[in-house]
Amino acid sequence: MSEMTETLSILEPYPGIFAYYDGRVEGKRLHAEGPNWLDDGAYSLGVASYAIVDGDEALVYDTHISLAHAAAIRAHLESLGVRMIRVVLSHWHKDHIAGNAVFADCEIIALALTAQKLQENCDRIEAANPPISPLIMPTRLFDQKLELTVGQRRVELHHFAIHSADGNVIWLPDEKLLLAGDTLEDTVTYIAEPRQIATHIGELSRLRTWPIEKILPSHGDRVRIAEGGYAPSLVDANLRYLERLSAAIAQGETVLPSLRDFAATDIASGAILYFPPYEDVHQSNVAAVTAALR
């Protein structure tokens, strides 16, 4: 194991479903002391990629935050006897595609919109801090829904424009398990596209109609993920946060500056877990939505 992955945990919340979790380690940074997307946008908040395994087949959901993390995922899968790996990208943001090069010989599946976003932002991604270069592009594209099998497991990919216009979730219909990417987040969603907040609210309402029993998000609590994930109330909590925030700002009201206070009801119910670094996310959300709606 490299220094880059010394805090990486390999969890198995369900048989044959693995979470590769890293971050939320107080006082530790992986890349640099100065501002950078890896430490500040992913590691500090905790990040998980996933793999669905059956027999000698695996489907990897996002390639994590570095080449070292991706290599650790691949090594683990190969140690299980996996010989055929496919990759699915949840969306185009850097902390989900940084390890693509480790899977360059595999099929990489994504929404056509994700491929478009990656192409449009390729130069910025490859020149980022840290750089993701060369950026390996997806090789198989779809638009709204794609049905796959991993061994004997049925898997569905679905487009949900939440957090990012190209959100792509994995749905396991037999297990009623949702791998949510960044469409759902604990403690609260990071509002990356504030002008699309009405779309995000509508899409969360659509997601809430699904018969979901458990949710595994990309950004959440290590223990809760290890123990099987979140209840459907995570959808409600994320939806309420966006509705309350956007309504208050649109009406010119003052938003409670403390996330602990603003989301107190859902924190008290256990739908979400309070994690102090999300106070900065809340402040960023308030500023972004204020700029977009006023």
pLDDT in tens, the chain (294 residues): 688 999 999 999 999 999 999 999 999 999 999 999 999 989 999 999 999 999 999 999 999 999 999 999 999 999 999 999 999 999 999 999 999 999 999 999 999 999 999 999 999 999 999 999 999 999 999 999 999 999 999 999 999 999 999 999 999 999 999 999 999 999 999 999 999 999 999 999 999 999 999 999 999 999 999 999 999 999 999 999 999 999 999 999 999 999 999 999 999 999 999 999 999 999 999 999 999 987
Point out which residues pair with 215 in neighbouring strands: 178, 230
Asked if 53 and 16 count as a contact pair (C-beta separation under 8 A), the reply is: yes
Asked if 229 and 216 count as a contact pair (C-beta separation under 8 A), the reply is: yes
Q: How many domains does the chain have?
A: 1
Check the CA dihedral 25-226-189-38 and report its sign: positive
Burial label for 198, CB within 10 Å (0-12, 13-18, 19+), is exposed
Domain residues for 164?
3-293
Predicted pLDDT at 2: 82
Burial label for 143, CB within 10 Å (0-12, 13-18, 19+), is exposed
- d(Cα 12, Cα 228) in Å, to the nearest integer? 8
Q: pTM for the full model?
A: 0.97
Look up the CATH number of the domain holding residue 208: 3.60.15.10
Burial label for 262, CB within 10 Å (0-12, 13-18, 19+), is buried
